[in-house]
């Protein structure tokens, strides 16, 4: 099973060239042992060593790609159980289920709705990933639906069928799209695996429970197909949570090879809101992809927001560019708010300024993406630094007045800031939530 | 090879905290509610016990709430009458607990006296049988005055009182100790301050099972991931035997979720986000449900539909998943 760093080190080329990333071969060996690197990144390792290292050198969860061209969804390749241990890397793929029984008009409508699922909020763009076509009738009907969906969207495709004959026909009409074929089961896995190999597409495998999934995965791997997506077959929220936790733990903690692949979960709730909450559980708890039926915007936006939040790197806060932002129809008399470039801080201020209905300029000072108090405590939000930004960003050319509004928490900076910048400093409210009241009393007509 | 379930062994558990008191214990509640007591990470029934489900406290304010219009609309028949409002939450929406926020005490607002605030709490105690959580207006000096008065006048009810903070915990901790209430310890998204505050409160003599942690969450889309990770670490601390992180956790879901413009904005210019009437309650429910995944024990919520979704989610998660 798992090898130690030293055992791996003995088989490495010992050039210490650093081309793999870590500075020395020993460091690389340690990363491999921890499952945080892949042997492929070393250009000099011998085939014999590769063979000897085998599974010990592979990442715990294989990276599997679905789709081709403009839309490729990457699943798996995760290394931790808690996001605070490092980060989660590949956001859960969300697939929208479309049944092949829909008539022409319904199908067109549904695809349009799914294609339209793009959102922008707080400076970020959210996109969706996949369309899953589900077989409910005969092979011909399934093939026809797949053909239409393939023509109607650039999103990655999932083919949901357990009938190898229908799968073969459907694969024929979406060659080059690299769809996920779902699913191989105990009764059809020979044929399905052959098809997945023939078309070189990833294969979903579905069992009755997690123990049978282990057996089935071993059989499919033995047939020589290794682009897999696992489904334990559980459908109740609590059981899926347990199974997904087991799949993740077994690979990360035990390097259990049959489970070293991305996972898929299916929602069951009829009510779209309940369905979104169920999907949230699976996104939170390790599902590499989730298949949902709902595709209306107001339901999907909260779900995508959570996915984005969860997959944010805890060590790299999201930042906005340090420049002048204009909110509303600003004039030369509009107020100027100061904040930091931590995106959460900036957008809290922006939201409240917008809500105040007083057009204004906002200048986020670059603080490496830290909040006002954090930056202040770390010496990144000093009077000198703020003054330098005010005088270099060009705000003096945009306004007639010489007043800047400082966050209330750093009121202590105001004297020095006036002195350094030459601008009059107004101490604003401590919380952004106080901005509307502040703006109304000070600038309201 | 056959797959063997991977089980963790933890050395400790989350404290069990009781809310409310019945007549045998000197209170007037129809029943008490227990939270905490978990010996495992959230809802992993296969390797430990989850003896109590998370509970939902619905928010009631003593003056007309300063809430976004579509949320306020849900309570238009009762928001000027806190007792009727509380009754509706319990009877119609099945709130486990009532969370009364005394905004009326605000010196810059209605500036109600401690006596008036106590009246309101007593009226609600009379109107409903569920335990109560009582929060002040946020102005420290006034809150100390108001909440200590309420603690004294409602002795024996085992209220949950909010909030003790690092710079202001002594009067509230003392009041809870003397009059036998439970205290919420609020720390600003910082696990070290959280732990330190619990130590300080405990040193005053308040037992550990009379303290609940409020980690000061961010809402969905506005920093919820920070709260998510801190709460995961708090819970892991409890299971690994850190006594000062072993308290149940309470989350101000309603307040945070409804600050987001994604929750309340309606009309033409927000069409790209879909309909507010669906998006708003889901925004709050999604905030609650993600925190439930970290082990949140008490959810302070507002919108009836969001409450219903969270209740459903909790019921599903409480089903066994033993192998």
Contact A238 B318 (CB under 8 A): yes
Averaged pLDDT of chain A: 93
pLDDT, averaged across chain B: 97
Mean pLDDT of A14-38: 85
User: Does residue A41 contact residue A52 with C-beta atoms inside 8 Å?
Assistant: no
Query: Residue A350 CB: number of other CB atoms within 10 A?
Result: 24
CB contact under 8 A, A238 and B317: yes
Using alpha carbons, list the distances in angstroms from residue A278 to A285, A434, B310.
Answer: 11, 36, 11
- Chain A interface includes B227 (CB < 8 A): no
Cβ within 8 Å, pair B2-A301: no
| Residues of A with Cβ-Cβ distance to B222 under 8 angstroms | 344, 347-348
Residue A376's alpha-carbon distances to A343, A367, B33, B67, in angstroms, are 16, 9, 43, 32
How far is the alpha carbon of B235 from chain A, nearest alpha carbon, in Å? 12
CA of A397 to nearest chain B CA: how many angstroms apart?
31
Return the structure tokens found at A248: 């993740």
**pLDDT grade, residue A56 (50/70/90)?**
low
Closest residue by Cα to residue A113 from A303, A297, A344: A297
Q: Which pLDDT tens digit goes with each residue over B172-211? A: 999 999 999 999 999 988 999 999 999 999 999 999 999 9
CA atoms within a 13 Å half-sphere pointing along the CA-CB vector of A150: 22
Q: Where does residue B124 rank: exposed (0-12), middle (13-18), buried (19+ CB within 10 A)? A: buried
Q: Is a pLDDT exceeding 80 seen at residue B78?
A: yes
Alpha-helical runs (H) found in chain B: 69-72, 82-91, 114-127, 140-153, 170-179, 191-203, 224-239, 253-257, 261-264, 276-292, 304-317
Distance from B138 to chain A by nearest Cα, in Å?
A: 13
* pTM (two decimals): 0.91
Contact B229 A119 (CB under 8 A): no
Nearest chain A residue to B294, by CA: A284
* pLDDT score for A55: 60
* Across A104-128, average pLDDT: 93
Inter-chain residue contact A281 with B321, CB threshold 8 Å: no
**Among A124, A87, A436, A295, residue whose Cα is nearest residue B221:** A124
Q: Give the closest of A215, A298, A312 to B273, CB-based.
A: A298
Q: B residues 282-311 near A, CB within 8 Å? A: 282-283, 285-286, 289-290, 293, 305, 309-310
pLDDT tens column, A263-315: 999 999 999 999 999 999 999 999 999 999 999 999 999 999 999 999 999 98
B282·A273 Cβ contact <8 A? yes
| Model ipTM value | 0.97
The span from the CA of A327 to the CA of B223, in Å, is 22
Helix or strand (DSSP H, E) at A345 = helix A343-356
Strands A71-76, A403-406: pairing kind: unpaired
Average pLDDT over residues A80-89: 95
**Which positions 143-182 of B are in contact with A (Cβ < 8 Å)?**
none
From the CA of A305, how many Å to the nearest CA of chain B?
6
Asked if B262 and A121 come within 8 Å (Cβ–Cβ), the reply is: yes
Q: State how far residue A167 is from chain B, nearest Cα, in angstroms.
A: 30
Please judge whether A241 and B43 are an interchain contact, meaning their C-beta atoms are less than 8 angstroms apart. yes
Residue B234 forms contact with A (CB below 8 Å) = no
pLDDT, residue B289, reads 98
Asked if pLDDT for residue A1 goes beyond 50, the answer is no
The CA distance from B132 to the nearest CA of chain A, in Å, is 27
């Amino acid at each position: 099973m798992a090898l130690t760093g030293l055992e791996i080190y003995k088989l490495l080329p010992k050039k210490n060239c650093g081309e793999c990333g870590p500075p020395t071969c020993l460091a690389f060996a340690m990363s491999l042992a921890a499952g945080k690197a892949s042997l492929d990144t070393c250009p000099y390792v011998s085939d014999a060593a590769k063979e000897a290292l085998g599974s010990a050198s592979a990442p715990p969860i294989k990276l599997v790609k679905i789709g081709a061209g403009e839309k490729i969804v990457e699943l798996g390749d995760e290394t931790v159980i808690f996001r605070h241990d490092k980060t989660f890397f590949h956001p859960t793929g969300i697939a929208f289920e479309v049944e092949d029984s829909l008539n022409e008009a319904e199908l067109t409508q549904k695809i349009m709705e799914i294609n339209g699922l793009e959102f922008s909020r707080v400076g970020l763009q959210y996109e969706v990933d996949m369309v899953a076509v589900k077989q409910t009738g005969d092979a011909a009907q399934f093939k026809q639906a797949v053909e239409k969906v393939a023509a109607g969207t650039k999103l990655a495709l999932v083919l949901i069928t357990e009938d190898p004959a229908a799968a073969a026909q459907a694969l024929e009409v979406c060659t080059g799209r690299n769809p996920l074929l779902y699913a191989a089961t105990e009764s059809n896995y020979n044929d399905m695996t052959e098809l997945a190999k023939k078309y070189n597409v990833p294969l979903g495998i579905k069992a009755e429970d997690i123990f049978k999934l282990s057996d089935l995965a071993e059989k499919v791997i033995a047939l020589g197909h290794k682009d897999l997506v696992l489904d334990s077959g559980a459908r109740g929220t609590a059981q899926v949570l347990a199974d997904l936790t087991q799949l993740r733990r077994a690979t990360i903690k035990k390097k259990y090879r049959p489970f070293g692949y991305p996972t898929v979960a299916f929602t069951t709730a009829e009510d779209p809101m309940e369905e979104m909450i169920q999907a949230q559980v699976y996104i939170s708890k390790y599902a590499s992809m989730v298949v949902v039926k709902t595709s209306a915007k107001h339901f999907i936006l909260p779900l995508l927001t959570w996915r984005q939040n969860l997959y944010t790197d805890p060590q790299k806060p999201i930042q906005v560019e340090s420049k002048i932002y204009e909110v509303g129809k600003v004039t030369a008399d509009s107020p100027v708010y100061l904040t930091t470039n931590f995106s959460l801080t900036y957008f809290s201020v922006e939201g409240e300024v917008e809500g105040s209905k007083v057009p204004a300029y906002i200048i986020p000072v670059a603080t490496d993406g830290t909040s006002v108090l954090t930056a202040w405590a770390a010496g990144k939000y000093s009077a000198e630094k703020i003054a330098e930004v005010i005088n270099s960003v060009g705000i003096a050319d945009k306004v007639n007045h010489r007043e800047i509004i400082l966050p209330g928490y750093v009121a202590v900076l105001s004297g020095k800031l006036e002195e350094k910048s030459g601008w009059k400093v107004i101490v604003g409210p401590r919380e952004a939530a106080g901005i509307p009241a502040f703006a109304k009393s000070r600038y309201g007509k | 090879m056959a797959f063997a379930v991977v089980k963790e062994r933890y050395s400790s558990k989350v404290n069990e905290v009781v809310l409310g008191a019945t007549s045998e214990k000197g209170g007037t509640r129809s029943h008490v509610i227990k939270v905490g007591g978990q010996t495992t990470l959230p809802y992993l029934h296969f390797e430990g016990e989850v003896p109590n489900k998370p509970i939902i406290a619905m928010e009631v304010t003593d003056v007309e709430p300063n809430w976004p219009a579509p949320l306020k609309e849900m309570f238009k028949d009762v928001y000027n009458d806190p007792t009727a409002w509380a009754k509706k939450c319990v009877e119609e929406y099945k709130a486990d607990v009532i969370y009364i926020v005394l905004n009326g005490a605000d010196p810059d607002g209605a500036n109600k006296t401690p006596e008036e605030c106590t009246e309101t709490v007593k009226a609600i105690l009379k109107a409903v049988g569920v335990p109560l959580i009582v929060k002040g207006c946020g102005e420290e000096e006034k809150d100390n005055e108001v909440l200590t008065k309420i603690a004294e006048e409602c002795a024996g009810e085992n209220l949950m009182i909010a909030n003790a903070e690092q710079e202001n915990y002594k009067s509230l901790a003392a009041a809870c100790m003397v009059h036998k209430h439970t205290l919420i310890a609020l720390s600003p998204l910082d696990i070290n301050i959280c732990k330190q505050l619990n130590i300080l409160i405990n040193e005053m003599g308040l037992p550990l099972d009379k303290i609940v942690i409020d980690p000061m969450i961010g809402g969905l889309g506005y920093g919820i991931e920070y709260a998510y990770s801190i709460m995961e670490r708090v819970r892991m601390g409890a299971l690994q035997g850190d006594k000062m992180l072993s308290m149940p956790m309470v989350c101000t879901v309603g307040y945070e979720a409804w600050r987001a413009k994604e929750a309340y904005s309606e009309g033409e210019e927000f069409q790209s986000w879909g309909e507010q009437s669906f998006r708003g309650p889901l925004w709050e429910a999604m905030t609650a449900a993600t925190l439930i995944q970290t082990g949140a024990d008490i959810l302070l919520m507002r919108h009836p539909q969001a409450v219903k979704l969270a209740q459903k989610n909790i019921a599903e998660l409480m089903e066994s998943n033993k192998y």
